[in-house]
């Protein structure tokens, strides 16, 4: 059996499930929506929660389709566990927010000179999803470029650079490319999971928190640049190793996009620190 067949079946199932939920016509007794006390409590919240949950399932399905089309051979962590974690966290937090807003239990977040202000103030989850394309592209684009130059690669390529030995640990091309791809995916997924764990912790501490608005605050934008920068650095390094082995240049130019993003993040961190350094604490 083709190893991609189970992924294709799961992608089709998630797409169908997501489209049904997105229609908003599924009754609570069906058992296919979000089975939570606050979603069962109100028909409007049930429909709205399941529409958003359906959109998340559709995005997960498209992620699986992307893996199949590009033959990414993602690990179970990247293809299944991490997306399932994010779908559950964002789906449940959104439904809790809808209930809290409607029944007046949503705590008003103190806005203190822009410290907790969402940027932009409108857009919510749409902005978050579109924003996530950048680190994902930083992980995928180097892989696609390497596949274009793969016929020009020698039998062995390096997978490590040592400040004393230079390029080291030369391996067979297929093994080396698989290892380099795995490094970039691992960095991307670990940073993504760390972000999800932090948001989950914030939500558990205060279930009325609007997760989308939290992800658009200045501090979370800084983490976004941190995540994107490191993914771009590792992706660029992997591309640089392949280009060096093919005689197409050195590694350093491939590192510049990631290093530039990290430098921008550092400037923003200093700016944010100076802006908030003398602000009195909230409630004073």
DSSP 94-142: HHHHHHHHHTT-PPPPP--TTTT--SSSS-THHHHHHHTHHHHHHHHHH
Q: Based on the domain organization, do 128 and 215 belong to the same domain?
A: yes
Where is the domain boundary, 76, 106, 136? 106
- The answer to whether the predicted template modeling score (pTM) of the entire model surpasses 0.75 is no
Residue-range definition of the domain harbouring residue 183: 120-284
Same domain, 124 and 101: no
Residues 125, 250 within the same domain: yes
More confident residue, 31 or 138: 138
My answer on whether 85 and 160 are in the same domain is: no
Task: Please check whether residues 53 and 184 belong to one and the same domain.
Answer: no
Mean pLDDT of all residues in the chain?
79
Task: Name the domain boundary from 69, 84, 106.
Answer: 106
Average pLDDT over residues 208-221: 80
Paired strand residues for 171: 157
Asked if the model's pLDDT at residue 134 lies above 80, the reply is yes
Integer Cα distance of 256 and 48 in angstroms: 43
The average pLDDT across 48-52 equals 88
- Tell me, yes or no, whether 153 and 271 share the same domain: yes
Residue 170 forms part of a structural domain: yes
Task: Give the pLDDT confidence of 227-273 residue by residue, as tens digits.
Answer: 999 999 989 988 998 888 888 888 889 999 999 999 998 888 877 65
Residue 111 belongs to a domain: no
Look at residue 114 and tell me if it is in a domain: no
Asked if 125 and 220 sit in the same domain, the reply is: yes
> Tell me, what's the pLDDT at 70?
67
Domain assignment present for residue 112? The answer is: no
Residue 4 pLDDT:
64
Q: Can you give the pLDDT at residue 46? A: 87
Other beta carbons less than 10 A from residue 3's beta carbon: 7
Same domain as 252, residue 181: yes
Summarize pLDDT for 7-47 with one digit per residue, the tens: 788 889 999 998 988 887 778 777 788 888 878 878 888 88
Return the pLDDT at 277. Answer: 47
The C-alpha atoms of residue 226 and residue 45 are separated, in whole angstroms, by: 35
Percent of the chain with pLDDT over 90: 8
Considering the domain architecture, whether residues 94 and 133 belong to the same structural domain is answered as no
- Confidence category of residue 274, pLDDT binned at 50, 70, 90: low
Which of the listed residues 73, 106, 139 is the one where a domain comes to its end?
106
* 75-122 pLDDT, tens digit each: 565 667 778 877 887 788 788 878 877 776 544 444 344 556 788 877
48 within domain boundaries: yes
Note whether residue 115 is domain-resident: no
The answer to whether residues 162 and 282 belong to one domain is yes
Domain membership of residue 266 (yes or no) is yes
For residues 132 and 71, give the distance between their C-alpha atoms in angstroms, rounded to a whole number.
21
- pLDDT confidence tier of residue 126, bands split at 50, 70 and 90: confident
The phi, psi pair for 179, rounded to 5°, reads: -65, -45
Residue 144 belongs to what H/E stretch? helix 133-149
pLDDT attached to residue 95: 83
pLDDT at 207 over 80: no
Q: What is the number of domains present in the chain? A: 2
Identify whether 113 is part of a domain: no
* 224 class by beta-carbon count within 10 Å (0-12 exposed, 13-18 middle, 19+ buried): buried
- Condensed to tens digits (0 to 9), the pLDDT of residues 153-200 reads 888 888 877 666 777 778 898 888 888 888 888 888 888 888 887 877
Residues 89 and 124 in one domain: no
Based on the fold, state whether residues 21 and 155 are members of the same structural domain. Answer: no
């Amino acid at each position: 059996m083709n190893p991609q067949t189970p992924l294709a079946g799961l992608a089709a199932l998630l797409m169908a499930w997501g489209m049904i939920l997105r229609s908003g016509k599924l009754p609570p007794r069906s058992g296919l929506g979000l089975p939570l006390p606050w979603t069962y409590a109100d028909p409007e919240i049930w429909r709205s929660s399941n529409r958003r949950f359906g959109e998340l399932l559709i995005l997960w399905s498209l992620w699986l389709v992307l893996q199949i089309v590009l033959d990414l051979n993602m690990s179970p962590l990247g293809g299944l566990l991490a997306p399932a974690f994010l779908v559950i966290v964002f789906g449940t937090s959104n439904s809790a927010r809808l209930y809290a807003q409607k029944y007046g239990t949503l705590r008003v977040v103190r806005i203190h000179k822009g410290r907790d202000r969402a940027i932009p103030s409108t857009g919510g989850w749409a902005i978050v999803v579109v924003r996530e394309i950048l680190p994902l592209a930083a992980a995928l684009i180097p892989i696609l470029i390497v596949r274009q130059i793969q016929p020009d690669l020698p039998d062995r390529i390096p997978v490590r650079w040592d400040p004393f030995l230079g390029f080291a640990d030369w391996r067979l091309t297929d093994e080396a490319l698989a290892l380099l791809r795995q490094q970039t995916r691992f960095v991307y997924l670990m940073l993504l999971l760390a972000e999800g764990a932090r948001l989950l912790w914030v939500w558990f501490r205060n279930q009325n928190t609007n997760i989308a608005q939290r992800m658009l605050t200045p501090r979370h934008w800084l983490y976004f640049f941190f995540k994107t920068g490191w993914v771009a650095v590792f992706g660029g390094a992997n591309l640089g190793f392949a280009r060096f082995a093919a005689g197409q240049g050195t590694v350093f130019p491939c590192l510049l996009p990631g290093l530039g993003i990290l430098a921008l993040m550092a400037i923003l961190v200093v700016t944010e620190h100076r802006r908030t350094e003398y602000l009195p604490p909230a409630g004073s």
